[in-house]
Structure 1
Amino acid sequence: MSRGPDVTTLLERRLRIAAEAAGIAIEIVASAATPWASATFNGARHHLTLIGDGAGFAPWLANLPEADLPLRGHLVADLVVTSAAERTATIDILSVEER
């Protein structure tokens, strides 16, 4: 029985949807995830590199840390834009499993 897409796939889809809603086209050119756990939560740290197309890319990135990015079975606990240039950006995201 299939469990559906993993959290990284869900996160990438949600970022594309959020960008499209803002009139931005993005391409995720690199994506890596490592497992993460605390005493009370399990999740993953995601590191993504994006290329954006459109004049609204920079404002979209600026608002991304506050964006609602719903993921089935997970929550986005933290999102940080770690670097941004004219058309590229790297973001780090911490996702945790819902209980």
Structure 2
Amino acid sequence: MSRGPDAATLLVRSLEADSQRAACLVRVIDSTWTRWASATFNGARHELSLEATDSPALEAWLDALPEADLPLRGHLVADIVVTGVTRAGGVATMTIEALTVEE
């Protein structure tokens, strides 16, 4: 029996949906993750590369992202940070790091 999508897939879907609501649809162009655990939590560290049309809406979305409520069934986004943004020819490429933990 399948348990459903993993945290990485859920995070990608949640980021895409959240950006669409903010009128700045992003596209994930690369995504990697590694398992992570502490004494009390299990989860994953994620590194994502995203691409979108550069716009004021995108800038606002990126600024708000660390405080965004990104729902992931069975997981929580414990931390998310934009680690880099490059802009060229009206396109922004972003790198994001996130930590998800299992509920």
TM-score normalised over the length of structure 1 = 0.95
Consecutive unaligned residues of structure 2, counting only runs of 5 or more, are: none
Per-residue Cα deviation, 1:21-50 (whole angstroms, up to 9, x for no partner)? 001121101100000000000000000000
SS of match in other structure, 2:26: strand
Which residue is equivalent to 1:20? 20
Q: Percent identity?
A: 55
Amino acid of the structure 1 residue aligned with 2:95:
T
In the alignment, the residues of structure 1 paired with residue 12 and residue 68 of structure 2 have an alpha-carbon distance, to the nearest angstrom, of: 14
- 1:56-75 alignment to 2 at 5 Å? 56-75=57-76
Match of 1:33 in 2: 33
Give the distance between the partners of 2:81 and 2:45, measured in 1 at CA. 11
Query: Separation in 2 of the partners of 1:66 and 1:52?
Result: 20
Counterpart amino acid of residue 24 in structure 1: C
Aligned pairs, number: 98
Deviation at 1:85, TM superposition (A): 2.2
Distance in 2 between residues matched to 1:96 and 1:31, nearest whole Å: 17
Report whether the alignment pairs 1:50 with 2:55: no
Give the deviation of 1:54 after TM superposition. 4.7
Report the TM-score, using the length of structure 2 for normalisation.
0.91
RMSD: 0.9
Q: Which amino acid aligns with 1:60?
A: W
Amino acid in the other structure paired with 2:65: L
Q: Is the 8 A contact 1:25 1:54 kept in 2?
A: no
Residue 77 (structure 1) aligns with? 78
Q: Which runs of 5+ in 1 are unaligned?
A: none
